[in-house]
Amino acid sequence: MSEFTKTLCPYCGVGCGLEVSPPAQHGKATNRDSQGTPIWRVRGDKAHPSSQGMVCVKGATIAESLDKNRLQYPMIRESLDQDFRRASWEEAFDLIAKRIQTVRFTQGPEAICMYGSGQFQTEDYYIAQKLMKGCLGSNNFDANSRLCMSSAVAGYIQSFGADGPPCCYEDLELTDCAFLIGTNTAECHPIIFNRLEKYRKKNRKVKLIVVDPRRTPTAENADLHLAIRPGTDIDLLNGIAHLLMRWNQIDVGFIDDCTSNFPAYAEVIRHYSPDVVAHRCGISVADLETAARYWGQSQRVLSMWSMGINQSSEGTAKVRTIINLHLMTGQIGKPGSGPFSLTGQPNAMGGREAGGLSHLLPGYRLVKNPQHRAEVENFWGLKPGQISSEQGMTAWDMITGLENGTVGLLWIAATNPAVSMPDLERTKKALLRSPFTIYQDAYYPTETSAYAHVLLPAAQWSEKTGVMTNSERRVTLCPAFRFPWWEAKADWEIFAEVGRRLGFTKEFAFANSAEVYAEFVQLTRDRPCDMTGMSHELLQTQGPTQWPFPSNNAESPVDTQHSKRLYTNLRFHTPDGRARFGAYHSRGLAEPPDPNYPFVLTTGRLYGHWHTQTRTGRIEKIRAMHPEPFIEIHPRDAASLGITDNQWLEVRSRRGKAKFPAKITKAIAPGTVFVPMHWGALWADEAEANALTHPESCPDSLQPELKACAVDLTPISAE
Ligand code: SF4
């Protein structure tokens, strides 16, 4: 038997396979961290179809984070000005159950909120939904995926009638033209980019178009980099469509047979002539025409996007406008083509499957759909009407709910909103007003633990068994390969125990996570994400598997070809089976620059760090790669402010301020500045990107526009 356990990297949505083995088995070659402590050995799993043995620096160094700054046991305090004291699980569970009952019967179930995470395994997500939306009757479960990819979810649902990225990673090696917009794939999804670039090295004719206001490492590799002004994505996309129409490079047969609403779309794109679009986007007409020519002349076009599109007050419209280009050229449902949203977190996809946003129910169902509610109520053995028909609170709603007193209990798990939410000053003030906050996490301290009344130690990925789904719909079993740290418990076990203490003993009578998963997959039967053929056992023996995977697949496990891509039959999940064009004019940024705040700030990730550094901040190699935050500024703007490289700048928005050393670079366009989003109060003084951002959201996806806000810059003189 191999000494290595196969699992999945728990950082990002690429979902790379890892093999891990304990430190003691390697004698003199024992892996050690920078302090000399033996650590688990980690290597890429060559047999994992998604990553083929590749890993980036985060996956390669994950073992160093396993034992550092872990929360050891439950802790409780009466008020936020007191110190925590150690408590038993018994005491913590009793207190939580009592507080839930009090809020339930005094303020109603709609005053109970849970804010979860794409770091959850699917079993954690599922039990949380059953507790909140089923047993308690509160749809107020939202996840940090709301800040990450909810515009992609809304866009897919509106265009195709169901969520779900239709493509697979094999398409990276079959495409003629990769169109990357709003994604710094080389740094944020590095193994996807590696696969694409390996293929392009062998096939020099394959084009890479990158659309990004910054000249990122991704853009450095492009055949064509379109450095558009922030907020002009829809102008650009409609401009490309305009040229494809004008050049008659559209697939009329596909439009006629497989789509609806094309006339309305054609009427919109008529207004996006090249000179108008080039002027608005700040690019040349020639570059716009080159982009349209690459798209129109390619047999297979694969578009990819992530937060640069999703984190926008018109995020859903942007997603649908990308999809429109595929529909008008018939670039979907065939190898090497399609609109492919890249998920940020390791199991954001599993969250979508399990209903882990406040408008969703398990199995790609919607809270607002009466039939969907009835199906879930029936399956869970609830009374008709027990699931609320109201969409629950989103992440930002919970903050405003704390402000206005409608939130009576907030349960935060596996996420760090005191760094990652927009308008941090307001967020922190709201968290201080919470009557009762439970914070459940593997790590301590974090910026959010300062706002908790109860701390619950969660087992992390290595210490619990569950599944995660990556961006290409591939589900991987992640078995526990070490004991939970001190008194830590799996998130699903904590939720289930609270459920039992609230009287739902039958509903949460699970012996292990395999039983949880077995129940969950039954709720996907005949749904677009049907995975009724999957089980922990099947994933253990067959390895990582894509959905759809209905129960009859389990009998012929080698036949997974049909799961690679969605919509190969060109029928969609809409009532008429046609994909819908969305017709949108560009609205631009929610907060454009003005004389008082003349710069556009955009935020993003760096290659080595992950989100708010709860893990990567504890890894020496990554800290050395990215020792401190900074602000990128164009030489022309630096000259007009009279600053030199590394001089500190105070950055002010309408909501707050922060300070960063300047990194003067032509990689950023004049008028725009960039700040990485990883630094919270634990890691640097006054360097929080989200002190500046605003919560203005997309009306469809309710995803905040974390990507852009207006700021002013003031040099800080050295004294
Ligand atoms: Fe992990 Fe993502 Fe890096 Fe793969 S690309 S090793 S999933 S962080």
> Are residues 327 and 443 located together in one domain of the fold?
no
For ligand 1, what atom is nearest to the CA of residue 12? 2
Q: How confident is the model at residue 239 (pLDDT cuts 50, 70, 90)?
A: very high
| CA gap 691, 311 in Å, rounded | 16
For ligand 1, what atom is nearest to the CA of residue 8? 7
For ligand 1, what atom is nearest to the CA of residue 56? 3
Number of domains present in the structure of the chain: 4
Q: State the distance from the centre of ligand 1 to the C-alpha of 462, rounded, in angstroms.
A: 16
Q: State the distance from the centre of ligand 1 to the C-alpha of 62, rounded, in angstroms.
A: 10
Secondary structure, 3-state, 554-601:
HHCCCCCHHHCCCCCCCCCCCCCCCEECCCCCCCCCCCCCCCCCCEEE
Once rounded to an integer, what is the mean pLDDT over residues 281-304? 98
Question: Cis bond leading into 445, ω under 30°?
Answer: yes
Is 532 within a domain?
no
Average pLDDT, the chain: 96
Which of 307, 324, 341 is where one domain is finished?
341
Is 590 within a domain?
no
> Are residues 135 and 165 located together in one domain of the fold?
no
Once rounded to an integer, what is the mean pLDDT over residues 309-334? 98
Q: What is the pLDDT of residue 470?
A: 98
Task: Give me the CATH number covering residue 652.
Answer: 2.40.40.20
Is 548 within a domain?
no
> Are residues 21 and 133 located together in one domain of the fold?
no
Residue from 11, 54, 192, 610 whose mutation best tests the ligand 1 pocket (most atoms within 8 A of CB): 11
Residues 11/346, Cβ–Cβ less than 8 Å:
yes
Which of 483, 510, 537 is where one domain is finished?
510
> Are residues 487 and 357 located together in one domain of the fold?
yes
Q: What is the pLDDT of residue 3?
A: 82
Q: How confident is the model at residue 559 (pLDDT cuts 50, 70, 90)?
A: very low
Q: State the distance from the centre of ligand 1 to the C-alpha of 10, rounded, in angstroms.
A: 8
Residue from 55, 169, 342 whose mutation best tests the ligand 1 pocket (most atoms within 8 A of CB): 55
Residue ranges in 209-340 assigned as alpha helix (H): 217-220, 233-246, 252-258, 262-269, 274-281, 285-297, 307-310, 315-329
Which protein residue's CA is at the shortest distance from atom 3 of ligand 1? 56
| CA gap 689, 336 in Å, rounded | 37
Is 555 within a domain?
no
CA dihedral in degrees (630, 636, 642, 644; nearest 10)?
40
Task: Give me the CATH number covering residue 170.
Answer: 3.40.228.10
Q: State the distance from the centre of ligand 1 to the C-alpha of 192, rounded, in angstroms.
A: 9
Which of 20, 39, 65 is where one domain is finished?
65
Q: Side-chain half-sphere of 5: how many Cα atoms within 13 Å?
A: 20
> Are residues 13 and 79 located together in one domain of the fold?
no
| CA gap 129, 141 in Å, rounded | 7
| CA gap 660, 684 in Å, rounded | 10
User: Does the Cβ of 62 fall within 6 Å of ligand 1?
Assistant: no
Task: Give me the CATH number covering residue 43.
Answer: 2.60.40.4210
Q: State the distance from the centre of ligand 1 to the C-alpha of 59, rounded, in angstroms.
A: 5
Residue with tokens 């996956």: 59
**pLDDT digits over 446-468, tens only?**
999 999 999 999 999 999 999 99
Is 524 within a domain?
no
Q: State the distance from the centre of ligand 1 to the C-alpha of 164, rounded, in angstroms.
A: 21
| CA gap 25, 504 in Å, rounded | 44
**pLDDT digits over 100-157, tens only?**
999 999 999 999 999 999 999 999 999 999 999 999 999 999 999 999 999 999 999 9
Is 587 within a domain?
no
User: Does the Cβ of 56 fall within 6 Å of ligand 1?
Assistant: yes
> Are residues 439 and 495 located together in one domain of the fold?
yes
Residue from 7, 8, 12 whose mutation best tests the ligand 1 pocket (most atoms within 8 A of CB): 12
Residue from 7, 16, 62 whose mutation best tests the ligand 1 pocket (most atoms within 8 A of CB): 16
Q: State the distance from the centre of ligand 1 to the C-alpha of 65, rounded, in angstroms.
A: 15
> Are residues 629 and 691 located together in one domain of the fold?
yes
> Are residues 159 and 185 located together in one domain of the fold?
yes
**pLDDT digits over 670-717, tens only?**
999 999 999 999 998 899 999 999 999 999 999 999 999 999 999 997
Q: State the distance from the centre of ligand 1 to the C-alpha of 15, rounded, in angstroms.
A: 6
First to last CA, the chain: 64
> Are residues 174 and 194 located together in one domain of the fold?
yes
User: Does the Cβ of 55 fall within 6 Å of ligand 1?
Assistant: yes
Range of the domain at 350: 75-148+346-510
Q: State the distance from the centre of ligand 1 to the C-alpha of 137, rounded, in angstroms.
A: 37
> Are residues 687 and 622 located together in one domain of the fold?
yes
DSSP symbol at 414: S
Residue from 119, 172, 191 whose mutation best tests the ligand 1 pocket (most atoms within 8 A of CB): 191
User: Does the Cβ of 344 fall within 6 Å of ligand 1?
Assistant: no
> Are residues 107 and 180 located together in one domain of the fold?
no
> Are residues 360 and 466 located together in one domain of the fold?
yes
Which protein residue's CA is at the shortest distance from atom 2 of ligand 1? 12
Q: State the distance from the centre of ligand 1 to the C-alpha of 53, rounded, in angstroms.
A: 11
User: Does the Cβ of 191 fall within 6 Å of ligand 1?
Assistant: yes
ipTM of the complex: 0.99
User: Does the Cβ of 15 fall within 6 Å of ligand 1?
Assistant: yes
Which protein residue's CA is at the shortest distance from atom 4 of ligand 1? 16
Residue 53 pLDDT exceeds 50: yes
Q: What is the pLDDT of residue 1?
A: 53
Residues 469/486, Cβ–Cβ less than 8 Å:
no
Rg of the chain over Cα atoms, rounded to whole angstroms, equals: 25
DSSP symbol at 229: P
User: Does the Cβ of 14 fall within 6 Å of ligand 1?
Assistant: yes
pTM metric for this prediction? 0.96
Q: How confident is the model at residue 396 (pLDDT cuts 50, 70, 90)?
A: very high
Task: Give me the CATH number covering residue 350.
Answer: 3.40.50.740
Is 550 within a domain?
no
User: Does the Cβ of 590 fall within 6 Å of ligand 1?
Assistant: no
Residues 150/359, Cβ–Cβ less than 8 Å:
no
User: Does the Cβ of 157 fall within 6 Å of ligand 1?
Assistant: no
Is 671 within a domain?
yes
Q: What is the pLDDT of residue 558?
A: 44
